[in-house]
């Protein structure tokens, strides 16, 4: 992913998903679920449980979508 592409992806994530529960797919069995806490310097930070975080390279993200079941949990 180019620097320009990464910046566009970061901007999209911040605008549409900041503070929301999401599911991030990175290929194969790599799926992450959590609350978007930050997205900068090419890294997406998700809070996966209370004060436990996953850090995902923006260039590895294939899809990101809102967690439809967030209100049911």
The domains of the chain, with CATH numbers, are 3-66 (2.30.30.520)
Segment-wise mean pLDDT, segments of 10 residues, the chain, 73 residues: 80 96 96 96 95 95 87 49
Measured distance CA(68)–CA(7) in Å, rounded: 26
> How far apart are the C-alpha atoms of 6 and 50, rounded to whole Å?
28
Question: Residue 50: what are its φ and ψ, rounded to 5°?
Answer: -55, 105
């Amino acid at each position: 992913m180019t620097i320009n592409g990464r910046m566009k992806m970061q901007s999209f994530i911040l605008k549409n998903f900041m503070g929301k529960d999401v599911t991030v797919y990175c290929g194969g069995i790599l799926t992450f679920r959590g609350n978007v806490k930050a997205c900068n310097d090419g890294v997406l930070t998700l809070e996966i449980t209370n004060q436990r975080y996953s850090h995902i390279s923006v260039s590895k993200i294939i899809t990101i979508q809102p967690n439809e079941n967030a209100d049911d949990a």
